[in-house]
Amino acid sequence: MPKTTKKQRLARLAATATTALALVAAPLVQPPSAAAAEKGSVKNVILMIPDGMGASYVTATRSFIGERLSFENYLRGSVMTHSLDSAITDSAAAGTALATGYKTNNGMISMLPDGEEPDSILDAAREDGKATGLVANSRVTHATPAVFVSHNADRGEEEALARQYIGQVDVILGGGRDMFLPESKDGRQPTEDLVQQAADSGYDILETKTDMESTDSEKILGLFTMGAFPYAIDTDDPEIPSLAEMTDTALDALSKDEDGFFLMVEGSEIDWAGHANDPVAAVTETAEFNDAVIEAKEFAAENEDTLVIVVADHETGGLNVGNTASGSEENIEILKNAKGSSNAVATALIEGAQTVTFSSYEQVKDSYYVPLRSAVRDLNGSVFYKEKNQQVQVKWNEVKKEFSLNDKEVNSYRERGQLFVDVRDLGKLFGFDTAVGVEDDELTVYLTDVDSVVSSISGVDLTEEQVDQLTSVQWPGDLSDEIGTVVSDHALLSWGSRNHTAVEVPLYAFGPGAENFEGLIDNTDVPRIISYLIGTELFADQDEVVQQILDNQTFGTKAE
């Protein structure tokens, strides 16, 4: 459809704003009018989004680090997160609301169901002459950063989203170099080299932390990994900067603009930890985000015309501090022993296991049977079968083990003249924990010592039942998630979901205008208040809209 002008968009969307505000809250009694901070009183805005962080993440991380998080004392209120088509939002719809002030359907990047493409608060800041920046430790084209600069009906079209970045944002720092490179350079763009386009447009191109430490440019494209960053606790590459270091670099560059700036910083992988129900990653990624907020706070303390806002797009995982079995106890302290995430544990188990692959196998319920002779042959062993007493002797690695076909120590059956045995039972016979995985009609058997690997990285000792729990799932596909469940049990944490939830999320703010975010507000209110405070005209009837938001924050109101 033809692209409309900003004036046309404002007129068309004004009615939507009025209707949405009416649905958010209605007064029980007529409250006194709240006074908004002076319009245009804020020069710089740092919007920090801990993706997926609910209140329980803050509680758990506080216990983990042993002190309050840097933003906790600035709690202002709660934010409703529902999307246009669901009570449970995704990051695309929630991000669109935080960036543009409009609800949309899940999966859509700053685009409404009718195809309208509303401007974002970053667009408004840029049009007003301010510098702009995006920082994330996911791919920078992931849903949350993308909504501030791109438009698409499908969040998965990241190659298309990337093509809208160059020239629209001054500072871009994060992961996802593959989305900016052509296929000829192992990238995802069919032909375009967006990195070269950025360089030709005057961007300083960064690929390492060393590059970042030496830049003094006001236009930066820093893509430090081909994909997303690894979790902070799993990062062993010294050239991948932390979220705090990228935030500091962005602030140095953007603050050179005398007209001010708008910066969005996302702690992207808190959400991923929630999806995985990984308690180690959940608290360490939240702590990583907290370090970035400290950088923002220090900047704001020296620049009093700077507003810092911390608000998640939604909660992920339904995290609870405590579980049914523990009663009133918690054991978050045990997570301090961890040296890696569930992903790191799963990788170590997979890579450290001895493996055998079978194209011929039989599945009986949850058990997998393989021909004994070929299985042992593949392990460079031998088999001797004593027909008279139904005894089977297996020799492997100079160790001999015997079992009877009658006592079910090793479950087995005969078929087509072959003896099939349960691979897990066979592994146990030789003292191994045995797991399996099926892919492309092939069965891979993993022989390892689960407890020693898990305890060395996660810092917890497994019970026999927990070892069985980990070996009973498909490897590698379901292993990482199950490790998260087991470690959560040790920490006495529980989860309600592996998806997003509909609960409100806390909002924290400090700096001029922070009081305007108090009470229960909608996620669409956030960019509307920001636009008013920095003096841009992102929305039609903006002054009246903000006053209505503030009126609905006062006592004596209820959500419809």
Q: Is there a contact between 132 and 122 (Cβ–Cβ < 8 Å)? A: yes
Q: Can you give 153-206 as a three-state secondary structure string?
A: CCCCCHHHHHCCCCCCCCEEEEECHHHHCEHHHCCCECCCCHHHHHHHCCCEEE
Q: Which tokens in the block code for residue 306?
A: 């700077």
Q: Confirm whether residue 481 is marked as ligand binding.
A: no
Alpha-carbon gap, residue 125 to 130, rounded angstroms: 5
Q: Per the residue annotation, which of 83, 91, 138, 342 is the catalytic one?
A: 91
Which residues have CB under 8 Å from 104's CB, separation 6+?
A: 83, 84, 92, 93, 96, 97, 110, 111, 112, 113
Q: Is there a contact between 130 and 145 (Cβ–Cβ < 8 Å)? A: no
Q: Which tokens in the block code for residue 80?
A: 């409703």
Q: Confirm whether residue 82 is marked as ligand binding.
A: no
> To which residue do tokens 């087509």 refer?
416
Beta strands in 51-97 (DSSP E): 75-80
Q: Confirm whether residue 51 is marked as ligand binding.
A: yes
* Buried-exposed string 357-379: b where 16+ CB fall within 10 A, e elsewhere: ebeebeeeeeebbbbbbebbeeb
Q: Which tokens in the block code for residue 209?
A: 């932390």
What strands lie across the sheet with 412-415, from one edge to the other? 362-364, 367-371, 418-422, 412-415
Q: Catalytic site residue 91?
A: yes
How far from each other are the two terminal CA atoms of the chain, in whole angstroms?
A: 35
Q: Is there a contact between 445 and 436 (Cβ–Cβ < 8 Å)? A: yes
Q: Is there a contact between 501 and 317 (Cβ–Cβ < 8 Å)? A: yes
**What's the full length of the chain, in residues?**
560
Q: Confirm whether residue 500 is marked as ligand binding.
A: yes
Q: How far is CA 308 from the centre of its chain?
A: 21
Which residues have CB under 8 Å from 72's CB, separation 6+?
A: 58, 62, 508
Q: Is there a contact between 341 and 273 (Cβ–Cβ < 8 Å)? A: yes
Alpha-carbon gap, residue 278 to 317, rounded angstroms: 10
Q: Confirm whether residue 128 is marked as ligand binding.
A: no
Specify binding-site residues for Mg(2+).
Answer: 51, 142, 144, 266
Q: Which residues are catalytic?
A: 91
Specify binding-site residues for Zn(2+).
Answer: 51, 271, 275, 313-314, 500
Specify binding-site residues.
Answer: 51, 142, 144, 266, 271, 275, 313-314, 500
